[in-house]
Amino acid sequence: MYNKVELTGVNTSKLPVLTEEEKRELLVKIRQGDMNAREKFINGNLKLVLSVIQKFSNRGKSADDLFQVGCIGLIKSVDNFDISLDVRFSTYAVPMIIGEIRRYLRDNNAIRVSRSVRDIAYRALSAKEQLMRTAGKEPTVQELARAVGVTPEEITDALDAIADPISLNEPISGNNEENLCVMDAIRDESSTDSNWIDELTLKETIKKLSDREKKIIAMRFFIGRTQTEVAKEIGISQAQVSRLEKGALDKIKKEL
């Protein structure tokens, strides 16, 4: 009955709050199979979910949806918490609730990521938690790759793919009192005056090359052909292409 919790219309200030002693007593009863104790315990920790979802208020998702997902994390925490450990329930539950919400945000991201890539990312995150517990330090990409059984490149690509995108309107901190956003900090390196002048200079320099040199430079660096492919199309040897290419580049460097 608690797989979906409605937030709309609920006076959250009136949600019950349990003391640590009440929590311990209810947890013992829950382990004995008392479903009424389980229901009371979940209701008594709903404010914990509310405190967690405030961290995700700027993700563009409704508070109702986040609260419902957070409650699923809370329920999982209740069902899996080991009462023999000397750990407060909230210490165990908060990461579980956060993980459930993050998983929901990733799976409902506007940028679709393939299932295989997500699988690698989730396995990497699981391996990271396990390695941090055993080694007591942050594992390297190489260590994660060995644990998951993939290449380091696949690990980094997968983790980048599931990372939450940042809005251009996301506020950033600064040393002044202006309200700066990510958009304000982005610089278009391709549109600077110096790059524009360099491009004009390059075009003028290429005009001074011979027709064959122009064709070789265009095919090699603008189309992306290999020297062998250029040689075959022009009808000369690869060695001649290499020599002409080097000569053309030397001329361009000298002019620039």
Q: How much is the mean pLDDT over the chain?
A: 79
Which segment, 67-81, 107-121, 159-173, is predicted with the most confidence on average? 67-81
Predicted TM-score (pTM) of the model is: 0.44
Entry field: residues in the chain: 256
Please choose, from the candidates 89, 76, 96, the residue with its C-alpha nearest in 3D space to the C-alpha of residue 21.
89
- Per-residue pLDDT tens over the stretch 17-40: 888 889 999 999 999 999 999 999
Give the mean pLDDT of 49-71. Answer: 82
- Structural domain spans, the chain: 1-109, 192-255
Instruction: Give the domain 1-109 fold.
Output: Four Helix Bundle (Hemerythrin (Met), subunit A) (1.20.120)
Share of residues in the chain with pLDDT > 70 (%)? 77
CATH for 192-255 is: 1.10.10.10
Residue among 128, 130, 126, 129 nearest 142 (CA)? 128
- Model confidence pLDDT, tens digit, residues 143-194: 899 999 999 888 888 887 776 665 555 665 545 445 566 555 555 555 555 5
Q: pLDDT value at position 41?
A: 93
**Cα–Cα distance for residue pair 41/91, rounded to 1 Å:** 16
Q: Which of 164, 162, 165 is CA-nearest to residue 118?
A: 162
